[in-house]
Amino acid sequence: MIKKVKNALSGNAEEYHSDLLDPKVITRAEHGISRKDISDNALKVLYRLNSAGFDAYLVGGCVRDLMMGLHPKDFDVVTNATPDEVKDLFKNCRLIGRRFRLAHVVFGREIIEVATFRGHHQSAPEDKSKKSAEVLGKQNQEGQILRDNVFGSIEEDAERRDFTVNAMYYRVTDYTVTDFANGMQAIQNKRLELIGDPETRYREDPVRMLRAVRFAAKLEMEISPTSADAIHEHGNLLSNIPPARLFEEVIKLFISGQGLKTFELMQEYDLIQPLFPQLAPLLVDPESRETQFIKQMLINTDNRINTGQRVTPAFMYAAMLWYPIEEHCQKLMDEAGLNHFDAFNIAVNDVLHRQIQRIMIPKRFTTTMREIWLLQLRLPKRFGRRAYQMLEHARFRAAYDFLLIRGQIEGGTLLELADWWTEFQEVSADKRKRMLVKLREAEGSPARRPRRRQKSKKPSAS
């Protein structure tokens, strides 16, 4: 297919060749999208851009979800206005990003992300005084896009989208949806397919492999064979992604309400190794305690998210790294002759340091992770006032939930300990005292008698 299009930003007509796009206009009568299902703030952004003479569309996941009858969590807008022009229109706008220059229009807690139509990277013009695509857009030797501020037309933008289901554009002026890559057919077939050559697209941005498994789990779709085969071959490219960006992507993977499905797909496509290299060797056996522990954690996390309860990434990361810490701790005890407490603390530092090289976990989460881990050593110590003090600890509930999963998977004394703490939280104060007495008797430890304070003798007068 060859199209004659006009670059909306430069104003220069150019030949645009594409056999990847087959645009179809879906009228209001043919789709189920209603403005009632769209964020009021997103509509404000669309209307203001249109009033200023710019083209503006809802695009990507929000349109896909609306077409599938789902409720989008956020709304993204695409336009032919540049980021600076968007900022001029909205006082509540901030520009972010270097790799992708974006405008965030802030309405309290809701952020409407506004992007400019992306264009194709081109060779530098002869006139060196002009900014070239090589300056605005940059790729490394492996084809990964390092900078992508090349602006273009809506057709180019559609071709630059990752999956066919994400190349649908909703226009509020006439309520139509332009489907550039047969996204509706992909929805009907429940098939997730990349736009363009999978190897090239994964090299441009390896995170697309993570997005593939996340969308497949969320939308209950099958990844097309060509898109799936390339994941096995290029998963190692994820090591080129900055650790800070991977932190955000991993949160989307596992704290989305479909964490277990996503995890199983990641195992299928060998994507655990590039993200959690210390954990991956422990998951070879699907029946191992390590695998079952991660799955149970994700089942619990999914249940909490899907019932409207809060979760923290710290708990998920604490679970992912628990058995690598245990294994490294045992190795230090065997090889260096360290006691368990010292070996455990060194293992925590070593495992965290290695993981942060791959995924940059913020300190506010690593602090909580450390507390959850260290409380696993304190939970068995319940004599005297320790049990009561433990209940008052800020991280007790998270540590208890962590222990509960360990007990469910490993059984034995861990399960007994978890059951004891379950009962101790629920019973009356008198019952708690009896539980502690019974525990002391079972351990064979005599009850301590309270010390009597000895009166100090006054020195006799000489």
Catalytic positions, please? 74, 76, 162
Q: Is 8 exposed, middle or buried (0-12, 13-18, 19+ CB in 10 A)?
A: buried
Least Cα distance to 322 among 263, 261, 402 occurs for 402
Q: Rounded to 5 degrees, what angle do the CA atoms 26, 29, 33 make?
A: 75
Q: SS3 for 19?
A: coil
**What are the angstrom distances between the C-alpha of 167 and each of 22, 211, 228, 288?**
11, 15, 19, 41
Q: Is 360 exposed, middle or buried (0-12, 13-18, 19+ CB in 10 A)?
A: middle
What tokens appear for 462 in the block?
């000489």
The secondary structure of the chain in percent helix, strand, coil, rounded to multiples of 5, reads 55, 15, 35
Determine the Cα–Cα distance for residues 182 and 136; give it in Å rounded to an integer: 30
Counting Cα atoms < 13 Å in the Cβ hemisphere of 222 gives: 7
Contact (Cβ atoms closer than 8 angstroms) between residue 403 and residue 291:
no
DSSP 216-268: HHHHT-EEPHHHHHHHHHHGGGGGGS-HHHHHHHHHHHHSSS-HHHHHHHHHH
Determine the Cα–Cα distance for residues 374 and 144; give it in Å rounded to an integer: 40
Determine the Cα–Cα distance for residues 177 and 34; give it in Å rounded to an integer: 12
What tokens appear for 282 in the block?
């422990």
What tokens appear for 380 in the block?
């068995």
Residue 413: partners with Cβ closer than 8 Å, 6 or more residues away: none
Determine the Cα–Cα distance for residues 428 and 269; give it in Å rounded to an integer: 50
What DSSP designation does 179 have?
A: E
What tokens appear for 1 in the block?
């297919």
